[in-house]
Amino acid sequence: MSYENEMTAHNTPVGAGDEQSSAKYLDTSIAGDLSDFNSLELNCFEENYLHTVSMTELYDTVYENRPPIIDGLLYSGLYLFVGSPKIGKSFLMAQLAYHISTGTPIWNYKVSKGTVLYLALEDDYSRLQKRLYQMFGTDSADNLYLSVSASQLNDGLDKQLESFITKHIDTKLIIIDTLQKVREVSADYSYSNDYEIISSLKKFADNNKICMILVHHTRKQKSDDSFDMISGTNGLLGAADGAFVLQKEKRTANAATLEISGRDQQDQKLYLNRNPDNLIWELERTETELWKEPPEPLLQVISQKFSESSSAWKGSPTELVSWLGVDMKPNALSLKLNINAARLFNEYGIRYSNRHTHSGRVITLHREQQANASSA
């Protein structure tokens, strides 16, 4: 198998021992040994078949890396962005879209550059032109695309978005402003329907490895929990990966708070102030410091070795232990790297793969880019 082919398979199950994990992983077994396919095929057609993964198999799998869109704030998946009408949600959406499309940090948070599609469905192009010019002047972005019309959820929106992503393969973010504009007028507003709508859009975002933000409104009733103020049932937040809530104490004030909650990320509260001249939201302070994982010594050792030698390494787990000079068993080292593969790439720009071949397991390390995180 060629080195290039090995580097393209990032989600292949690998074993800490010498045994290949079961062929329950249909998507990865096709690319490798098909000897167990028949048993999997039979299992899938059993009447009460339930696909399961053991804890050992879970640890033995190298999962695909999904770096943050905005480090510490925004990740791939589906988010709700809610606030009362005319509070400044669309200005903040334009700000996020511009920073991601240009790759420039926002509020000192690092940004991963990519194409952005902004569906500004409550605006027209004339208003968008004036708003963007007031905010950013003549500094335009070639990969920020805007539209003021789109199909509804059950009437072709998914095909429109799929077509856009096909043409722009580096798409990082799609903003739908607002959810109500793409929802059917006669739609059922029950918990199950809310959950189904968000789940379908989340599935689209996950399948295409992008971030999608749905702009939505808050309800009039006040609550001690800001996220209970999201208009609609709890099905909206329950199915989403996270949510942002923008609030003001006084409608005429420029000061606002932005609360953030999401899966696998720290809850945060940001205190913002809108510049009255260009209407850009500026960060005044954060309520808590952003938590950072403590350093992982093994990853630091690998990064150091790469800074001293070439940009690629390939060999067995035993050979890797020897090359790194660490006091670890080969199996333990493999498992640790399986679990920390995404972090190794995000923090140090080093891609890791662990493949099972007929001659044994082969680990590949390859520096692809400069690290995204500040620990590099």
Which distant-in-sequence residues (6+ apart) come within 8 Å of 289 by Cβ? Answer: none
User: Residue 102 has which token pair?
Assistant: 């240009």
3-state helix, strand and coil shares in percent for the chain, rounded to the nearest 5: 35, 25, 40
Which residues make beta-bridge pairs with 77?
Answer: 211
Contact status, residue 269 vs residue 281, Cβ threshold 8 Å: no
350 falls within a domain: yes
* Domain boundary pick from 258, 286, 314: 286
At 168 the three-state DSSP class reads coil
**Residues 205, 341 within the same domain:** no
282 falls within a domain: yes
What end-to-end distance do the CA atoms of the chain give, in Å?
A: 32
**Residues 95, 157 within the same domain:** yes
Contact status, residue 293 vs residue 279, Cβ threshold 8 Å: no
- Phi first, then psi: give them for residue 279, nearest 5 degrees: 65, 20
State pTM to two decimals: 0.77
**Residues 273, 317 within the same domain:** no
**Residues 162, 91 within the same domain:** yes
187 falls within a domain: yes
Q: The domain that contains 156 carries what CATH number?
A: 3.40.50.300
DSSP 224-243: SSGGGGBSS-THHHHHSSEE
Which distant-in-sequence residues (6+ apart) come within 8 Å of 342 by Cβ? Answer: 63, 65, 66, 67
Strand ranges, E, within the chain? 77-83, 115-120, 144-147, 171-177, 211-217, 242-247, 255-262, 265-274, 281-286, 312-315, 350-357, 360-367
**Half-sphere CA count of 106, side-chain side, radius 13 A:** 26
* Domain boundary pick from 260, 286, 312: 286
Give the per-residue pLDDT at 269. 92
What confidence tens digit (pLDDT) does each residue in 242-267 have?
999 999 988 888 999 999 988 878 88
* Domain boundary pick from 235, 262, 286: 286
Give the per-residue pLDDT at 11. 44
| Dihedral sign (CA 1, 356, 12, 354) | negative
Structural domain that includes position 247: 77-286
**Residues 337, 211 within the same domain:** no
Residue 72 to residues 67, 107, 147, 181, 263: CA-CA distances in angstroms? 10, 11, 28, 29, 12
**Residues 127, 249 within the same domain:** yes
Contact status, residue 274 vs residue 282, Cβ threshold 8 Å: yes
373 falls within a domain: no
Number of independent structural domains in the chain: 2
**Residues 177, 206 within the same domain:** yes
- Compute how many other C-beta atoms are within 10 angstroms of the C-beta atom of residue 97: 24
**Residues 259, 131 within the same domain:** yes
71 falls within a domain: no
The verdict on whether omega for the bond into residue 102 sits within 30 degrees of 0, i.e. cis, is no
Which positions of the chain have pLDDT values less than 50? 1-37, 371-376
234 falls within a domain: yes
Residue 280 DSSP code: -
Give the per-residue pLDDT at 190. 82
Give the per-residue pLDDT at 341. 93
Give the per-residue pLDDT at 28. 37
**Residues 304, 172 within the same domain:** no
Q: For the CA atoms of the chain, what is the radius of gyration?
A: 23
**Residues 142, 102 within the same domain:** yes
**Residues 197, 346 within the same domain:** no
**Residues 180, 221 within the same domain:** yes
375 falls within a domain: no
18 falls within a domain: yes
Residue whose entry in the numeric block shows the structure tokens 């959950």: 195
